[in-house]
Every structure is written in structure tokens, then in C-alpha cells.
Amino acid sequence: MIVRKGPRRRPAENRVPVRREPEGGSFRLTIEYEGTRYSGWQAQTNTPKTVQGRLQNAAGQLFERVELGGAGRTDAGVHAAAQVAHLRTNGRMNPDELVWKLNDLLPHDIHVLRASPAPRGFHARHDAVSRVYLYQISTRRAAFAKPFVWWIKDRLDVAAMSQAAERVTGRHDFAAFCDRRNTAESTVVVVDSMQIARSGDLILVRIAASHFLWKMVRKIVAALVEIGRRELDVETFQSLIENPEDQTFLPTAAPSGLFLEAVLYQDETFDRPLKPIVSVETFVPELVPAKETRGRR
């Protein structure tokens, strides 16, 4: 008789336990923040003052393992009205509860607007198809709004700025309007739209594109301001876009006026009217002369 033996099993005490990763949750976060106090979005080893670092620290108090990434690497002093981030954890939590607990742990100038369940593979940066930035130029000195605008003393020709902005849309090489972090990175960007409008004491500049180069928006805005000042003509501006070889536009607009306004994903649209994120309104109280008080007889 032939007996077929199965695989030899180790004694129970010698078996190596199989580690199973606990099933976790994946979320899409929408975040607003004032970037004035921070060295940008991206976490850095040499400074704890980043928005991503503060969010990771807060999430780390709720879960053992945390993976967090943002859709846009905003620079120091730049703000966000609706930054998008993915959060992957080793535990599950109701999205509304997650928002409440994160905000309870975050500083006053970072706020999670909402959280929603996301596929485990959702990536805030790689899956984004468009990003929208809004820049606020103030035409007057403002005591309250300084952290959210770039004040330009000179009178600006908005019509000339709008004419130049029309040349930005389309597929162009923006090598003259960026600071390169990686020399191997392509400097070709497809700009979907660019708008300029007045709103009271503000001039608003909105630009939407699939992605942006480092400091690209701030350098384009600085060029538009020079055109508005009549220090730069539209033709020279266009030549910087069409023939960027060995040309660099050095001025860069202040980070205080820049907001990441929206991040879009597949099948999403953005239709917010072009209006300020932080307004600059001139407040003049209406004083009514007091009626003379008549003495009693």
C-alpha cells in the first residue's frame, strides 16, 4: 500500500506568524489655509512649519500609520482656498468625525473643509487634471488685507494687462517664467484659460492649467504688472513666451496675493465667478449729526 504524505508541518511552537496589514481607510480631503506662517505646503526635514507637516502630525494622533500627499506644492506665504490631499490610514473613521477631530488638532490657520471616502489608489497630485490659481493685486494700501494681496502703488492699465493675458492661453514653453527645481523637467505647459477683472480696489488674475512650474504664476503676474505700468510692452512679453531660449524674466510677484483656488479631477468642472477670496473693501462709516438736545423747561 502506498501512502501519499502531505507537506510536513512545523510544530505549532515553531511556526512563523503571518502578519496581516490591518484594513484601513482612504480619504480625499479639501483644505483651506493661510500660508503666511508656513514654509509652503510640502513637508521638509529642516523645518516643522509646513502645512503638510502639521496635517500629518494631526492625523498621526488619530492613526498609527498615515500617508498624506497634496495636489499642489504651494510655496512659502502662498494660500489655498481648496487644496486637495489624499489621506491613507491603517484605520477607519466616519468622514465627518475625521474632519471634526483633525480640525480640533490643527492650528487656527489650517482648516479641513470636508473629507470623503476615496479609492485606495487615489492620488491627489497624479490624478488631478487641472489646477486653478487666483492672484489678488490691490490698488490701494490696505491695513487689514496686506497678507492676502500685492499692493501696487502705480496706476495700472488693466486693458493692456488683459490683452497680454490672452497670449498666455494655449500650449507654450514657459522656461522664461519659472525657477527650475529640476533641469530635466519639461517647461511646456498647456494653459486652459486666463482671466483678469476688477473688483473694487482689487485686480484679480485667474489662471487654469494642467500643472504649473515653480513660481510660474507669480512671474507671469509680475510681467502683467510691468505691462500695466507701461514698463513692458505686449510684444516683448509675447516674445518671452514664444522664444524662451536664453531668456529669463526675473521679477516675481509677492506670494501674499496668490491662492490655490481649485483642483479638478476627471469629470469635474469649476464655475465659481471671478471674485475675491479675501476682499478689500473701503469702509467709511456714515455719520449722522446728533440732534441738539433741548433742555427741559
Please enumerate in sequence order all residues whose Cβ is within 8 A of that of 69, keeping only pairs 6 or more positions apart, or say none.
52, 85, 86, 123, 124, 125
Greater confidence, 43 or 113? 113
Residue pair 213/187 in contact by the 8 Å Cβ criterion: yes
Helix-helix angle 216-228:234-242, to 10 degrees: 160
Q: Which residue has the cell 512671474?
A: 219
Per-residue pLDDT tens digits for 259-278: 999 999 999 999 999 999 99
**75 tagged catalytic:** yes
Please give the pLDDT value at position 13: 52
Q: Which residue has the cell 484605520?
A: 91
pLDDT at position 18 over 80: no
Q: Which residue has the cell 513666451?
A: 241
pTM: 0.86
Per-residue pLDDT tens digits for 220-237: 999 999 999 999 999 999
Please give the DSSP secondary-structure letter assigned to residue 14: G
Greater confidence, 43 or 275? 275
Q: How far apart are CA 58 and CA 31, in angstroms?
A: 13
Amino acid letter, residue 86: H
pLDDT band for position 154 (cuts 50, 70, 90): very high
Q: Is 40 left (phi over 0), alpha (psi -120 to 50) or beta?
A: left
pLDDT at position 285 over 50: yes
Residue pair 224/207 in contact by the 8 Å Cβ criterion: no
Q: How far apart are CA 89 and CA 253, in angstroms?
A: 38
pLDDT at position 22 over 70: no
Specify which residues 29 forms β-bridges with.
85, 115
Q: How far apart are CA 280 and CA 138, in angstroms?
A: 8
Q: Is 265 left (phi over 0), alpha (psi -120 to 50) or beta?
A: beta
Mean pLDDT of all residues in 62-68: 95
φ and ψ at 187, to 5 degrees?
A: -105, 10
Per-residue pLDDT tens digits for 91-142: 889 999 999 999 999 999 999 999 999 998 999 999 999 999 999 999 999 9
Please give the pLDDT value at position 24: 63
Please give the pLDDT value at position 20: 43
Specify which residues 260 forms β-bridges with.
80, 133
238-263 burial, b at 16+ Cβ within 10 Å, e below that, comes to eebbeebeeeebeebbbbbbbbbbbb
125: burial class by Cβ within 10 Å (0-12, 13-18, 19+)? middle
CA 151 from chain center: how many Å? 21
Please give the pLDDT value at position 71: 96
What grid cell was written down for 207? 489662471
Q: Does an H or E element contain 95, and which?
A: helix 95-105
pLDDT at position 67 over 70: yes
Catalytic residue among 75, 127, 246, 271: 75
Q: How far apart are CA 90 and CA 67, in angstroms?
A: 9
